[in-house]
Amino acid sequence: MPITPPFETDSGGSTLGLSGIQYWEDVEAGYSEAADMEGNTTATRTLYCTWADRKEFRRAMLGWSQIGFGGGGTLVLRRALPQPHPDMLKMYCTKCDLIRGAGVPQYQHDSGLIAYYAATTPAGNLGGRPDGKAYFRVEYTMLPFDVKKDTEIAGDETLRYIDRSETFSVESITLPGKCFQFATFTIPNLPRTIPEGLPKLVFGGQYMMKWMQIPSENNRLPIGLRRNIKKCTNHLNLTAFEGYDIGTLLCFAPQIERKRNITGIDVFDITYLFGVKEKEDFTIADQVGGWNTVYRRDLPTGPGYDRVEAVADTDRSIYLYADFAALFNLNET
C-alpha cells in the first residue's frame, strides 16, 4: 500500500528531486532504525517506482558527481546530492538495493533481462514501456562529511565532501648544547658549558583531509588539479589554513583511490596528508614558527627559534610556500 512521505508530495505519491521520478513507500514491508553507543545510526525503508524508472531512481537516491564548465571554459564540480532521510538530520541514502519486481514478467530479447508490466496491461501491449513496479531496500546512514548543494558553497569545495581527521605525536630533536649552560657554577673550576647536544621532545602530528568523489577528466584526475597537487607537495601553507598558522603544515604526497560512481564515471577519493609542526615555545615574537625555524642561541632575548632564509635569496627557506586552497580547485592556479 503506497503512502506519501512528508516531502515533495503530489496526489500520486512523491517525486524524486529534479529527476521527477515518481515513487511510493511500501508500508507493509515496515520501517526500521538502528543505533549504537558509538553514534552509528542507520534507517531502512522499502520504496518502489515504475520498473522503467528503476535506474534513474537509484541514481537519484544515491547522488553523483560530474564535471561541468563555467565561464571561460573553467571546470566546475557539479554534485547531485544523495537523498536525505525525511525526518532525521544528517542522514543520507548510502545504499539502494533492488529486491524484487512486481507485475507481469516478460523476457526482453534486446537486453536479455526480465521486465515487469502492470498486471492490468493487456497481453498485446507487453513490450512497451515496462510499467510494473521495482521495489528497493533503501538504507540511510550518517556521512563523515558535510553535504551541501553547489549553490551553498560559493565555489569553496572545502565546505563539503571532506572527511577530516588528525593524529598527534611527539618528535625527539637535538638542541645544540652550546645554547645552554649548567646552572651550578659555585664550585671553582667546574665548567658550565655543555659540549654535547640536548634532547627535546616537540609536539607534532598529521592532519588529513579526504576529498571524496572527484570526477575524472579523460579517466584521470583533471590536469589542473594534478598540477596544483605538484605545486603544493613538499611545500608549506602560505596562509592560515584549516586553523593552522602559516608555515606549520607540510604537504606530503597524497593518497589517491579510484572508484566508479553510479553513473559509470570514474571518480577519485584524494587523501591529503599534512605534517604538523606548530609554533614552539621561545619562538621570537615576529616569527610564525613551524617547519622553517631553527633553534639558535644568540638572540637578544635569549636562545629561541628563528626563521631561516637563503643567503642568495631571502624569500627562500628550507621549504617554499604554496596556497593550499589550490588542492581543492579543478583548475590550475
Averaged pLDDT score across all residues of the chain: 85
> Is residue 76 scored above 60 in pLDDT?
yes
Q: How many CB atoms lie within 10 A of CB 86?
A: 14
Average of pLDDT values for 323-331?
Answer: 97
> Is residue 214 scored above 80 in pLDDT?
yes
Contacts of 105 (CB under 8 A, 6+ apart): 114, 115, 116, 132
> What pLDDT was estimated at residue 237?
94
Give the model confidence (pLDDT) of 133-149 as tens digits: 999 999 999 999 999 99
What pairs with residue 322 in β-bridges?
A: 237
Three-state secondary structure string covering the chain: CEECCCCCEECCEEEEHHHCEEEEEECCCCCEEEECCCCCEEEEEEEEEEHHHHHHHHHHHHCEEEEEECHHHCEEEEEECCCECCCCCCEEEEEEEEEEEECEEEEECCCCEEEEECCCCCHHHCCCCCCCEEEEEEEEEECCCCCCCHHHCCCCHHHCCEEEEEEEEEEEEEECHHHCECCCCCCCCCCCECCCCEEEEEEEEEEEEEEEEEECECCECCHHHHHHHHHHCCCEECCCECCECCCCEEECCCEEEEEECCCCCEEEEEEEEEEECCCCCCECCCCCCCCCEEEECCCCCCCEEEECCCCCCCCCCCCCEECHHHHHCCCCC
> Is residue 253 scored above 80 in pLDDT?
yes
Average of pLDDT values for 247-261?
Answer: 95
pTM listed for this prediction: 0.84
Contacts of 36 (CB under 8 A, 6+ apart): none
Give the model confidence (pLDDT) of 101-145 as tens digits: 999 888 877 778 888 988 766 655 556 788 899 999 999 999 999
Q: Which residue would you say has higher pLDDT here, 313 or 83?
A: 83
- How confident is residue 73, by pLDDT bands cut at 50, 70 and 90? confident
d(CA 20, CA 8): 10
> What pLDDT was estimated at residue 128?
73
> What pLDDT was estimated at residue 121?
62
Q: Which of 146-155, 203-212, 245-254, 281-290 has the lowest mean pLDDT?
A: 281-290
- How confident is residue 287, by pLDDT bands cut at 50, 70 and 90? low
Contacts of 67 (CB under 8 A, 6+ apart): 75, 76, 77, 78, 215, 217, 222, 330
> Is residue 166 scored above 90 in pLDDT?
yes
Share of the chain above pLDDT 70, in %: 84
Average of pLDDT values for 250-267?
Answer: 94
